[in-house]
Structure 1
Amino acid sequence: MSYSGPEFEPAPSRRSPLRRPLVVALAALAPGALLGWGVYAAVGGPAAPGGAASAAVGTPAAGSGSTGPAADGDGKPTASSGSAGSGSLKGKVVVIDPGHNPNNFRHTAEIGRKVDIGTNRKECDTTGTSTNSGYAEARFTLDVAHRLRALLQAQGATVKLTQDGDRAFGPCVDERARIGNTAHADAVISIHADGAAAGDRGFHVILPASVHAGAADTRPITARSHDLGVRVLGGFRRVTGSAPANYLGDGTGLVTRKDLGGLNLSTVPKVFIECGNMRDGKDAALLTSGAWRQKAALGISEGIVSFLRG
């Protein structure tokens, strides 16, 4: 930084009769000196601490505490986020299931048809809920899914989404389960937000019940799914600061259900998370915040990483 003004003017100096020849000599030597330093640095000479050499490759400073992708002002991962994984989850497959679909409301007949979920038949899918101001659950789930994918990919995991807003509707709940099964996923997380009464606040994680009926047999995955759910609950609570739901689960934040096809038909560890209640004003203020959704994704990712590392 340079300054101008009377108070920063340099004091006048006396001109030496040797100054002119000396300046010429130094000017002649400067290019060679710079060239020599360039070669020295290129072959492994020490760089100044915090210098441009380390900044150019985007390496975090030691002790920075950075464990995930960079985010923009709204808390959303930047385009370069997660481009290089740490490798800690290399070989692991995670399937993210963003609940519902932004286009479902245009296809009520298609999503209304019944499919087999093992214990009975149920609607293919639903439109989901929304905040009182009209922010749709399907938009929320897809946004959190994108953030979560970036975080997990940055850890080296292979990540697949059951839908990316790129299909007319669905997929149906039985197909969502098949996607995780076919991928031989090490973990599947289905992302949702609830539509309970105002005043009902908090999040909860849904675990598969032990079901053995028709096409459903969750017995081989219930224990592992419970472990996954507990870890996701812990990570989500720690990072977001949210409390477990005050309207179900007896304050534990864990709910076991046997009426969800996405869980009943899964053959790999899988849980749902209801991140908050869209119909409550205080919860809705969180769910509509990009910065908070980034925290939600980070909390979920920490739970999944903990589960996959064992």
Structure 2
Amino acid sequence: MCTGIIGVGVLVSAPAVAAPATPSSTASAVGTELSGKTVFLDPGHQGGAHSENLQRQVNDGRGGTKNCQTTGMTTLDGVPEHTINWKVSELVRSSLESLGATVKTSRADDTGWGGCVDDRARAAGESGADVAVSIHADSTSTTTDADKHGFHLIVPTLPIPSAAADAAQSEGGRSASTLMRDSYVRAGFEPANYAGVENGIQERSDVAGPALTTVPLVFVEMGNGSNPDDAALLESSDGQLKHAIAISTGIIDYLLGSDTAEASSAGPATTTAAAPAGAKTTDITVPTATAPSTERSAVEGRSALSGLLESVSPSVESFGVDGLRGLVTPDNVSSVSTFARGLLKQILADR
């Protein structure tokens, strides 16, 4: 989906050492709203071209051990989770880099190795990221399970033995996870109705990543690959983009916080961009560029910038990813915000 958007450059020589991702010539930052912010993305699991022992025991962060890694689930139509995670992560990376953020990741591609769970947690901590996001998809059966559906965020049972991890996850991690949950709900996703999930949040003590990560961590389970509706979104380009927008807006809300009352009440102006050729007559409404407030309110919440990104979602649902090409034609380019235009160009580059 995003071949050619972003070049290689994540973990260099060892999974525990993260390096900044290097954009390709087709993807240049078009904004500065997230300049100075660093995000660590962990597309869960790994490709099949590796010889690592997944059963090797590693530190679980709570005084015990667990398997180095798992293979991940496979959707009803045979799409491996690691590929879904990778494609969504690359789209998230594109959107954040288009705003000037530095993005580091746990693996360089969707073929090789990305590290054990403890390696990835260590890399996240050593990256100095403002927030880390581990991107996964769930499964409840090897066959169709139409009754269980929805997304959820995994948060660790507190306290965590590591004081640094406990501080990171009890404060920033919980806040970031809640904002990500809210972003998913706004995007039209339903919280999971299984496994003890409450309002999109599932508390667990058996997941090593959150117990080992010393920067705020968001652990996303995008949906249930055993459920036909969830699987359809996870497998499709349009669905992956919808997930990526929800994840990106959750990250932006955490990094920027809500705007001041004055900025929020004013709201962004909107313009109407022409619909893509061959599409229905419904127009696409896109907010014009509005600088987000530099102040941070006492209560974290939705930022104007995340609202701008979310404005792309209705167009995805109406016209599909390929239909969005109509938003970046010479005739209507001036009516689309600088940010939205840059993001769309990166998403569509070399598809």
TM-score, normalised to structure 2's length? 0.62
Per-residue deviation, 1:224:
1.1
After superposing the two structures, state which structure 1 stretch, 293-302 or 160-169, moved more: 160-169
Which 5+ residue runs of structure 1 have no aligned equivalent? 1-73
Per-residue deviation, 1:134:
1.1
**Alignment partner of 1:128 is 2:72:** yes
Aligned ranges 1:55-66 → 2 under 5 Å:
none
2:39 aligned partner, one-letter code? V
- Deviations, residues 121-163 of structure 1 (Å, cap 9, x unaligned): 0000010010122100000000000000000101110001101
3-state SS in 2 of match to 1:206: strand
Contact in 2 for aligned 1:235/1:303 (Cα 8 Å): yes
3-state SS in 1 of match to 2:104: strand
Structure-2 residue corresponding to 1:117: 60
- Deviations, residues 275-296 of structure 1 (Å, cap 9, x unaligned): 0001111211111110111111
What is the distance in 2 between the residues matched to 1:111 and 1:216?
A: 28
What is the distance in 2 between the residues matched to 1:284 and 1:252?
A: 21
3-state SS in 2 of match to 1:218: helix
Contact in 2 for aligned 1:208/1:218 (Cα 8 Å): no
Counterpart pick for 1:265 among 203, 212, 215 = 212
1:277 aligned partner, one-letter code? N
Per-residue deviation, 1:81:
6.8
What is the distance in 2 between the residues matched to 1:81 and 1:156?
A: 15
What is the distance in 2 between the residues matched to 1:250 and 1:167?
A: 32
Per-residue deviation, 1:251:
4.2
Structure-2 residue corresponding to 1:137: 81
What is the distance in 2 between the residues matched to 1:170 and 1:268?
A: 19
- Deviations, residues 54-113 of structure 1 (Å, cap 9, x unaligned): xxxxxxxxxxxxxxxxxxxx7x59847752231111011000000000227x54x61110
Looking at CA atoms only, which structure, 1 or 2, has the larger radius of gyration? Answer: 1
Counterpart pick for 1:230 among 175, 178, 192 = 178
Structure-2 residue corresponding to 1:31: none
What is the distance in 2 between the residues matched to 1:171 and 1:211?
A: 26
Q: Across the two proteins, how many residue pairs are aligned to each other?
A: 232
Question: In structure 2, do the counterparts of structure 1 residues 78 and 248 end up closer, same or farther at CA, with 3 Å as the change threshold?
Answer: same
Per-residue deviation, 1:165:
2.5
Structure-2 residue corresponding to 1:178: 122
The CA RMSD measured in Å over matched residues stands at: 2.1
Contact in 2 for aligned 1:236/1:300 (Cα 8 Å): yes
What is the distance in 1 between the residues matched to 2:154 and 2:126?
A: 22
Structure-2 residue corresponding to 1:95: 40
2:123 aligned partner, one-letter code? I
Structure-1 residue corresponding to 2:190: 243
Contact in 2 for aligned 1:117/1:216 (Cα 8 Å): no
What is the distance in 2 between the residues matched to 1:97 and 1:250?
A: 22
Contact in 1 for aligned 2:82/2:110 (Cα 8 Å): no
Per-residue deviation, 1:206:
0.9
**Alignment partner of 1:203 is 2:185:** no
Counterpart pick for 2:31 among 65, 77, 86 = 86
Per-residue deviation, 1:260:
1.6
Structure-2 residue corresponding to 1:275: 222
Contact in 2 for aligned 1:178/1:266 (Cα 8 Å): yes
What is the distance in 2 between the residues matched to 1:187 and 1:247?
A: 27
What is the distance in 1 between the residues matched to 2:178 and 2:215?
A: 16
Contact in 2 for aligned 1:124/1:170 (Cα 8 Å): no
Structure-2 residue corresponding to 1:152: 96
Sequence identity percentage: 37
What is the distance in 2 between the residues matched to 1:78 and 1:116?
A: 36
Which 5+ residue runs of structure 2 have no aligned equivalent? 6-24, 258-351
Question: In structure 2, do the counterparts of structure 1 residues 236 and 189 end up closer, same or farther at CA, with 3 Å as the change threshold?
Answer: same
Contact in 1 for aligned 2:152/2:181 (Cα 8 Å): yes
3-state SS in 2 of match to 1:181: helix
